[in-house]
Amino acid sequence: MQDIKELSLRELEDKLFSWGAPKYHAGQIFSWIYQRGAFEFSTMSDLPATLRKTLADDFYILGLELVDLQRSADGTAKLLFQLKDDNLVEAVSIPMRGRASGLTGAAGARLRAVTGCISSQAGCKFACGFCASALKGFKRNLSAGEILDEVLYLKNNSQKDPLTHVVFMGTGEPLDNYENVLKAIRVINAPYAFNIGARRITISTCGIIPGIKKLQDEELQVELSISLHAASDRLRSEIMPVNRKYPLADLIRCCHEYIAKTNRQITFEYILVKGLNSDLTSAQKLVALLKDLRLAKVNLIAANPIPELKIMPPEKTEITFFKEHLFKAGINVTLRRERGQDIDAACGQLRLKHEKN
């Protein structure tokens, strides 16, 4: 049995042709799967019964199973999925106001939309110090079909509020699973499938330079976000071992090149951790590092408490002071609201809890 989502529209048309069925059924099949949320071929009522049977004999639609769901008071839902080989991956559904259609003002405030945060690997090999995803090591890359499974599930799970944004910020490093992630993104973006605009899809990387260089040559307007979390090599190498391979000077040089080539902004994620990277000196170093980047934004996030790793957020006054320092230095800076604090919302926490049991 094969995952039908591994096929492109063209490949499915060719398959139908080889069976002697009209090619136009391919569009109908994908519309049922990606737009109407069908998980069974038998429900595709406008297809001939014989074709539905042939499809069900050769293909499956959904390759994962929901094994846990935690819902926060703010509407954030964390989902834990089991893959066919029993590996576990997490996805998060984050409701937002006013993001749909880019509307602002009263009309925008009334609209609700959902951002889906998805995983690209089972486990992770990069062992960032504050991330629970890597505590059990790397298991394997997800296939494009498995990545699409997560999107499909989140879309169907949020029928009331449309899924309008997808961010690769769950477990795993997307640029370490480049081909499958790009293949999935093309389907997320495709009009015949999820039809989510490229600018509403974000790849979040820990700073894999060869991947960023590859991405800048793609004809895709996806958003790029880099997890920075420290502005000195000493601290960054300590909390993000990937920095030993791709140090800050090389990474920032690569960012200059990316911006020059794509004319697109890069967002730098900076998790503020109490006693680690939230003091004035850290803010000054961050300004010095980023001030010459033409299109850059810093997204500050107060750390979610992770008891296993003894990580706590700084005091509110320290967070405000850090943000103000960046703002006064001319850095485009935002402070991301913490979501789902009453559930195991930090990357990998839910999976970790299950694997411990």
As annotated, the active-site residues are 90, 347
Taking CB under 6 A as the criterion, the residue among 61, 124, 184, 293 binding ligand SF4 is 124
- Smallest distance from the beta carbon of 136 to ligand SF4, in angstroms? 11
Q: Determine, following the binding rule CB under 6 A, whether residue 309 of this chain makes contact with ligand SF4.
A: no
**Segment contacting ligand SF4 by CB under 6 A, of 8-16, 128-136, 292-300, 327-335:** 128-136
Q: Determine, following the binding rule CB under 6 A, whether residue 133 of this chain makes contact with ligand SF4.
A: yes
- Smallest distance from the beta carbon of 281 to ligand SF4, in angstroms? 24
- Smallest distance from the beta carbon of 357 to ligand SF4, in angstroms? 21
Evaluate whether 345 touches 76 at the Cβ level (below 8 Å): yes
Measured from the CB atom, is 8 or 225 closer to ligand SF4? Answer: 225
Q: Name 17's Cβ contacts closer than 8 Å, sequence gap at least 6.
A: 23
Q: Which two tokens stand for residue 229?
A: 């979390």
Nearest to 83 by CA among 60, 62, 64, 66: 64
Evaluate whether 218 touches 189 at the Cβ level (below 8 Å): no
Evaluate whether 104 touches 152 at the Cβ level (below 8 Å): no
Q: Footprint of ligand SF4 on residues 334-353 (CB under 6 A)?
A: 347
Measured from the CB atom, is 44 or 134 closer to ligand SF4? Answer: 134
Measured from the CB atom, is 137 or 191 closer to ligand SF4? Answer: 137
- Smallest distance from the beta carbon of 243 to ligand SF4, in angstroms? 11
Evaluate whether 325 touches 287 at the Cβ level (below 8 Å): yes
Measured from the CB atom, is 44 or 215 closer to ligand SF4? Answer: 215
Q: Footprint of ligand SF4 on residues 182-211 (CB under 6 A)?
A: 206
Q: Footprint of ligand SF4 on residues 153-182 (CB under 6 A)?
A: 171-173
Strand partners, 311: 306
Q: Site map for ligand SF4, 221-250, x if CB under 6 A?
A: ------x-----------------------
Evaluate whether 41 touches 61 at the Cβ level (below 8 Å): yes
Measured from the CB atom, is 116 or 172 closer to ligand SF4? Answer: 172
By the criterion CB under 6 A, which residues form the site for ligand SF4? Answer: 124, 126-128, 131, 133-134, 171-173, 206, 227, 347
